[in-house]
Structure 1
Amino acid sequence: MNDVPVIRARTLVGVAHGFLGREGGVSTGIHAGLNVGTGSDDDTVVVAENRARATTAVLPGAKLVTLYQVHSGDCITVTAPFDADRPRADALVTDRPGLALGILTADCAPVLFADVEAGVVGAAHAGWKGAIGGVTDSTILAMESLGARRDRIAAAIGPCIARASYEVDDAFAQRFEQDDPANERFFAPARAGHHQFDLEAYVVQRIASAGVTRIAALGLDTYADETRFFSFRRATHRGEPGYGRQIALIGLGAEANRG
């Protein structure tokens, strides 16, 4: 009945989590599959069913908590489900069992975090703006405020657009190199005036620089794998009128240690 494939990371073993794609849902047309985007043009009843299926696949019985994502570096600490007005932010953390923290993506990098000993989890939406704006750093700091320790935190980066699919212009590359000249290593040559950007590797570096040593990068390209994943850039290149969103989820079971 709820046949939703779940991609899991070795670094997060023992924590309810999963990176979901477009398979296993009930949407049709350009949103076909497990589209969970409330901001898409998909039918709201269908999206609600997809979100319920996704939550059940990862943490049955949990309350799904998502944000109004705005490509910021901001993180919210969650103690209970939000009302109809979701906060505008791009990461969330909790130490409360029964909440499924959800991050929606369609090429941006979903990042899940856990300190199992402290009973603290987090999730971040790291597009290029949020990544360079420090969204992963904000998430780690918020987890520490709940009792986590960065030397115990494990992280995983789920499906996102890969370097081979992510062409950017000179101005984009210069923005990163001005922030840190060492960021040049995340750009490979492309056609004149353009580069191929490795978002996943950049996010790994940001997390590692913050002192987290257990990091899994799944290396799954949302743009290239149409069967499994939605992609904003692929839809844009095709001139399609809309696109679906996939979700990454993490949460604590009722038996979780809250420190």
Structure 2
Amino acid sequence: MLPAAWPLPDHVCGSRVHGFTTLRRGAGLSKPPFDSFNMGLRSGDDEDAVLQNRTQLMDIAQLPSSPHWLQQVHGAGVVRLDGDVFPSEPEADAAVTSTPGVVLAILTADCLPVLFAAKDGSEVGATHAGWRGLAAGVLEATVAEMRTPADQLVAWLGPAAGPQKYEIGVEVYDAFVAQDWSAGRAFTSTRPNHWNVDLYSLARRRLEKAGLRAHDIHGGALCTITDPQSFYSHRRDQRTGRMASLVWIAPH
């Protein structure tokens, strides 16, 4: 497991808020090319293997409840999961909760996972932010859905396609620069009408505009494409599994 590296106060980080991203190997039953700890049911892997992987995840991480998975559509939809009755795999790309014991989960394999926590440990969130979701405002929508003021949130940017290897075309470039010309700083030209894009830079920019303080945004140094031992990467392998990023507030 790759723990969320956010410097929450000791009484919050140590006992209340927990967050991490799963790694590709170290557990699991999935066979190549999904080997071995694939969390994605819609990735083409054997369903029974994935379900057993998810059961192993609950045991290894000692989760307080089954994770709440989403039907991710690369949009900006956010669902609040509070109380005792929840929809089954709602169509959304982010979730938030203030209910202890509710485990939020998103799946990625190059897209950017972003975990949120209130500094007082009272609320958490999880967002799936690929380039389409980032451009659509999924991070801003997540912050807006949370009851905690933005300047009282911390965020962790988990493993994603890195700026040295994630090459994109005009469609992606225009989706950001047409909204904000200064977002062009996150793009490095590689050849005509192609750029390497820094998803981490774009995410930080948007989170700061949403009200988070720069020093409360952490992570953003890992590349899924260049580390096949640790991470799944759709861009690198096409047919591959998914990591899960989870966050929850420990039950009282």
- Per the TM superposition, whether the score is higher than 0.5 is yes
Give 1:248's aligned amino acid.
S
Shift of 1:29: 1.0
- Are 1:86 and 2:89 matched, yes or no? yes
Give 1:124's aligned amino acid.
T
Task: Give ranges in structure 1 of 5+ residues lacking alignment.
Answer: 237-241
Distance 1:158 1:34, change over 3 A: same
Please give the secondary structure, in 1, of the residue aligned with 2:30.
coil
Q: How does 1:220-231 map to 2 (within 5 A)?
A: 220-231=222-233
Please give the secondary structure, in 1, of the residue aligned with 2:103.
strand
Query: Would the aligned equivalents of 1:64 and 1:81 in 2 still touch at CA under 8 Å?
Result: no
Q: Matches of 1:218 and 1:131 in 2, distance apart?
A: 15
- Are 1:247 and 2:249 matched, yes or no? no
Q: Which TM-score applies when normalising by structure 1?
A: 0.88
Please give the secondary structure, in 1, of the residue aligned with 2:90.
coil
Q: Matches of 1:116 and 1:169 in 2, distance apart?
A: 38
Please give the secondary structure, in 1, of the residue aligned with 2:64.
coil
Give 2:249's aligned amino acid.
L
Query: Would the aligned equivalents of 2:67 and 2:105 in 1 still touch at CA under 8 Å?
Result: yes
Q: Matches of 2:153 and 2:237 in 1, distance apart?
A: 35
Q: Matches of 1:16 and 1:56 in 2, distance apart?
A: 15
- Are 1:77 and 2:80 matched, yes or no? yes
Task: Give ranges in structure 2 of 5+ residues lacking alignment.
Answer: none
Q: How does 1:1-259 map to 2 (within 5 A)?
A: 5-12=1-8, 13-14=13-14, 15-23=17-25, 24-79=27-82, 80=84, 82=86, 85-117=88-120, 119-144=122-147, 148-213=148-213, 214-236=216-238, 242-255=239-252
Q: Matches of 1:59 and 1:210 in 2, distance apart?
A: 33
Shift of 1:59: 4.7
Shift of 1:100: 1.1
Give 2:162's aligned amino acid.
A
Distance 1:219 1:61, change over 3 A: same
Q: Which TM-score applies when normalising by structure 2?
A: 0.90
Give 1:219's aligned amino acid.
A
Distance 1:10 1:57, change over 3 A: farther
Equivalence for 1:239? none
Query: Would the aligned equivalents of 1:65 and 1:81 in 2 still touch at CA under 8 Å?
Result: no
Q: Matches of 2:94 and 2:184 in 1, distance apart?
A: 26
Work out the number of aligned pairs and report it.
Answer: 242
Query: Would the aligned equivalents of 2:121 and 2:249 in 1 still touch at CA under 8 Å?
Result: no
Query: Would the aligned equivalents of 1:107 and 1:223 in 2 still touch at CA under 8 Å?
Result: yes
Q: Matches of 1:199 and 1:52 in 2, distance apart?
A: 31
Please give the secondary structure, in 2, of the residue aligned with 1:250.
strand
Shift of 1:56: 3.8
Query: Would the aligned equivalents of 2:113 and 2:127 in 1 still touch at CA under 8 Å?
Result: yes
Distance 1:138 1:171, change over 3 A: closer
Render the CA deviation track for 1:35-54: whole Å, top value 9, x for unaligned: 00010221212111212233
